[in-house]
Amino acid sequence: MKNKVTKAIFPVAGLGTRFLPATKSIPKEILCLVDRPLIQYAIDEAREAGIEEYIFVTSRGKGALEDYFDAAPQLEQSLKAKKKFDLLKVLNHSTMDSGEIAYVRQREALGLGHAVLCAERLIGDEPFAVILTDDVIAADKPCLKQMIEAHEQTGGNIVAAMEVPPSKASAYGLLDIKEDMGALVSVKGMVEKPEPEDAPSNLAVIGRYILTPGVMKNLRTQAAGAGGEIQLTDAIAKEIEKYDNVFGFRFDGQRYDCGSKAGFLQATVAFALARGDLSEEFMEFLIKMVDTRRAAQ
Ligand code: G1P
């Protein structure tokens, strides 16, 4: 079995109902933080981690995603003619080479585990990454790269992990910790969105995974779990029983839950403030805005 992780699955079939009406006509992965769509952040992170093949699990109505990564010859020509080379560079950054991206369709929304299983034939017998585009992680070293480095030491399965407030833990997959080694924790159980009284910890799974082909195999027969969906968490948990090879990884970085409106707004503000061309004006505006609101209270 190959050990290097060069393939990543991006489950992008979700309806994005939390962002209606915007997502009535555009995929939620095209929603922008400042001027880059969520999907671009995910692809950039994967590329920096050494990923060479990008597998999108899509659904009906996601055509805009395919177009986004395609060449745009008319636009290119017009930018060239106007000598707008900076913009041309920005444009080229979003274009993927032919054959780099593969698209598979998930015909029915049966859950994250099922979405990952849809990519089975393109993965084969090698470890692979899964990136959930809702989880945007700002970090000096991209989160997936940190995980791939950790994986070189541990092998097996690694999931990104982060402590969340206990009141919010039930919205996540949670880890039952066997041994806490700091950044790495070995895991003796995993449970998807448990009732608060059943939560094994408040160490939550965040949307970055490096998984063994065994997980894919488990998914083939995985019964529906939390929410009546086929859960990736459950298929990973089976590997603990079989091989005891599942780790949580506390990454360095700031995670934004861009699947929620509040998280999306926080990410927008943070990314805007981090931008040299925007920060000064934007910060001034924010301070004024906050002062005015406070004064009015
Ligand atoms: C998914 C996973 C869950 C994980 C979460 C991280 O849930 O099923 O285990 O904790 O992503 O964002 P979702 O948020 O898609 O319901």
Which atom of ligand 1 lies nearest, measured to the CA of 172?
10
Q: Does residue 50 belong to any structural domain of this protein?
A: yes
The predicted model gives 129-148 an average pLDDT of: 97
Residue 157 domain-assigned? yes
pLDDT of residue 15: 85
Residue 287 lies in a domain: no
* Span 268-279, average pLDDT: 95
Pocket test for ligand 1, best of 18, 19, 112, 258 (most atoms within 8 A of CB): 112
- Averaged pLDDT, 242-260: 96
> Does 88 have pLDDT greater than 90?
no
Alpha helices in 155-260 (DSSP H): 213-220, 232-243
Give the Å distance between the CA of 14 and the centre of ligand 1.
12
Question: Does 2 score more than 90 pLDDT?
Answer: no
Cα 98 to the chain's mean position, in Å? 23
- Per DSSP bridges, beta strands 157-163 and 254-257 are unpaired
Domain extent, residue 14, equals 7-259
CATH number at 251 reads 3.90.550.10
What mean pLDDT, rounded, does the chain reach? 93
3-class DSSP state for residue 15?
coil
| Contact in structure between 42 and 137 (CB atoms under 8 Å) | no
Flag whether 235 is in a domain: yes
| Residue 268 maps to a domain | no
Contact present, 140 and 72 (Cβ < 8 Å): no
Enter the tokens of residue 271: 């990314």
202 and 87 Cβ atoms separated by less than 8 Å:
no
Domain-located, residue 297: no
Residue 26 resides in a domain: yes
Residue 115 CA, ligand 1 centroid: distance in Å: 13
| Structural domain contains residue 265 | no
User: Which residues lie with the beta carbon below 6 Å from any ligand 1 atom?
Assistant: 112, 132, 134-135, 172-173, 192, 204-207, 232-233, 259
Tokens read off for 32: 């922008």
Q: How many CB atoms lie within 10 A of CB 84?
A: 13
Count the domains in the chain. 1
Q: What pLDDT score was predicted for residue 202?
A: 95
pLDDT at 150 exceeding the cut of 70: yes
Residue of 36, 59, 44, 169 lying closest to 106 (CA atoms): 59
Neighbouring C-beta atoms of residue 144, cutoff 10 Å: 29
* Joined tokens for residue 67: 């177009």
According to DSSP, the β-strands at 184-192 and 173-180 are antiparallel
